[in-house]
């Protein structure tokens, strides 16, 4: 077995929704997964290894999501995927609402694109990532970093199955300014919540009043993030589309939220589909907010890992 080419892709965790931005807004955080790809000369069987706290939960056969994304890019090019060994170093908790699946998709696509000679543009890679994930809120910031808003240009896009099958990009991606004083604080519990389970509790229809409420608060959120205006941020993170229905799935949600706000957080929301909880706070109270969230959840019988993070501004990075 001899290696003919290798690449490592480092992909940030993401937090999606930020309250009212359901399935359309997300931010990259300074927490990372690393995917190391080694092309093999011979037709070796697929080899996937994982290290990290939850490595035992990572699939090591062809159902591995990073490998599926890797294969998808070659299929898009009309090529057979090469034999590959993948080493995964985990830093992003699994099934916690921090975009672990998005890191795998981004890592697999970016790694495959590099090893194929970078035939696809970043926008084409993004379109494939959105098609695999099903929505843009996590994969877009995972690829590009920062805080990003994604919107379709018209009808929901149908991605091409092969390169050249459909021209243009059906997504508008807008970067959202993030004020330097806003600190994202994540409280990661010791239990999982699948995205599928979190989606089951959502209604199939919403009232016009709820739609207007979320549209207004998403606009306020964008302004609050860019300016750091405390009053705007306190109001902006309210939501009527997903959080009222998902709170019951997260033990101690109300207790932790009350503690975070009492310690000075602007507001606390569910990160992605949960169960991780995200508070935004100014830098001068971030440490106090983190401590209050940890203590509140411990009182509910949940052992969390609470971390004050920063906004990742680079997205998926390649090293060789």
On whether the CB atoms of residues 88 and 33 are closer than 8 A, the answer is yes
Closest CA to 271 of 226, 298, 304, 227: 304
Rounded Cα distance between 186 and 309, Å, is: 8
pTM: 0.93
pLDDT digits (tens, 9 = 90+) for 116-160: 999 999 999 999 999 999 999 999 999 999 999 999 987 655 555
Rounded Cα distance between 178 and 236, Å, is: 14
pLDDT band of 20, cuts 50, 70, 90: very high
Q: What percent of the chain has pLDDT over 90?
A: 86
Which pLDDT score, from 0 to 100, does residue 1 have? Answer: 47
How many helices, marked H, and strands, marked E, lie in the chain? 10, 11
Q: Is the pLDDT of residue 166 over 80?
A: no
Distance from the Cα of residue 19 to its chain's centroid: 14
Specify the length of the chain in residues. Answer: 320
Rounded Cα distance between 142 and 126, Å, is: 10
The dihedral formed by the CA atoms of 64, 69, 70 and 73, expressed in degrees to the nearest 10: 160
Enter the tokens of residue 197.
Answer: 């389970």
Which pLDDT score, from 0 to 100, does residue 84 have? Answer: 95
On whether the CB atoms of residues 183 and 308 are closer than 8 A, the answer is yes
pLDDT digits (tens, 9 = 90+) for 258-317: 999 999 999 999 999 999 999 999 999 999 999 999 999 999 999 999 999 999 999 999
Task: Determine the Cα angle at 37 with ends 33 and 40, to 5°.
Answer: 165
């Amino acid at each position: 077995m001899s290696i003919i080419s290798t690449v490592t892709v480092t992909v940030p965790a993401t937090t999606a929704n930020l309250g009212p931005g359901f399935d359309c807004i997300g931010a990259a955080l300074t927490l990372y997964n690393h995917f190391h790809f080694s092309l093999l000369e011979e037709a070796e069987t697929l080899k996937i290894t994982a290290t990290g706290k939850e490595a035992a939960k990572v699939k090591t056969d062809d159902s591995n999501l990073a490998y599926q994304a890797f294969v998808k890019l070659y299929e898009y090019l009309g090529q057979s995927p090469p034999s590959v060994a993948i080493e995964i170093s985990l830093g992003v908790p699994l099934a916690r609402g921090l975009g672990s699946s998005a890191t795998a998709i981004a890592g697999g696509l970016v790694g495959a694109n590099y090893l194929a000679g970078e035939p696809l543009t970043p926008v084409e890679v993004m379109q494939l990532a959105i098609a695999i994930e099903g929505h843009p809120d996590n994969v877009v910031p995972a690829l590009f970093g920062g805080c990003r808003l994604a919107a379709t240009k018209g009808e929901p896009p149908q991605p091409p199955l092969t390169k050249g099958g459909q021209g243009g990009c059906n997504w508008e991606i807008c970067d959202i300014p993030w004020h330097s004083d806003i600190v994202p604080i994540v409280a990661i519990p010791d239990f999982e919540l699948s995205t599928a389970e979190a989606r089951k509790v959502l209604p199939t229809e919403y009232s016009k009043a709820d739609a207007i409420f979320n549209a207004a608060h998403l606009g306020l959120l964008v302004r609050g993030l860019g300016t750091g205006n405390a009053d705007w941020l306190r109001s902006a993170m309210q939501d009527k589309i997903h959080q009222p229905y998902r709170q019951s799935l997260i033990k101690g949600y109300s207790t932790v939220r009350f503690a975070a706000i009492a310690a000075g957080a602007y507001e606390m929301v569910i990160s992605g589909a949960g169960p991780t909880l995200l508070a935004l706070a100014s830098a001068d109270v971030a440490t106090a907010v983190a401590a209050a969230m940890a203590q509140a959840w411990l009182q509910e019988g949940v052992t969390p890992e609470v971390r004050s993070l920063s906004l990742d501004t680079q997205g998926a990075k390649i090293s060789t």
